[in-house]
Amino acid sequence: MFTLFAEMEELISKSALARQYFQKSASWPSQRVNGCVVMKKNAAFKENEYHLQAEALRDIAKRLNAHADEIDEASMDSPEDNE
């Protein structure tokens, strides 16, 4: 997970991902990635959270592909061409 978050740092907002897919705070993923002590325990991802992260990335990829498809299918006529 550390590598994932390091590589996607500039592509995807960790805080938005935490809120949208985990319903957690903006600091939640960083606490787990860095093993911070939270409530007297080292924070870590649970097994189901790994699976949820994978599903979140698949959902994001699907949404990005859909937007790319829309761009490919859009008319390339500029507004000036229609005058």
* The predicted structure's pLDDT at residue 75: 73
How would you label 23-52 residue by residue, b for 16+ Cβ within 10 Å and e otherwise? Answer: ebeeebbebbbeeeeeeeeebeeeeebeee
Per the confidence metrics, is the pTM higher than 0.75?
no
Residue 83 domain-assigned (yes or no): no
- What pLDDT, in 10s, does the model give residues 66-75? 998 988 988 7
Residue 81 domain-assigned (yes or no): no
* The predicted structure's pLDDT at residue 45: 92
How many structural domains does the chain have? 1
Residue 79 domain-assigned (yes or no): no
| Residue-range definition of the domain harbouring residue 11 | 2-73
- What pLDDT, in 10s, does the model give residues 7-46? 777 788 888 899 999 999 989 988 998 889 988 999 999 9
Residue 82 domain-assigned (yes or no): no
* The predicted structure's pLDDT at residue 12: 84
* The predicted structure's pLDDT at residue 77: 65
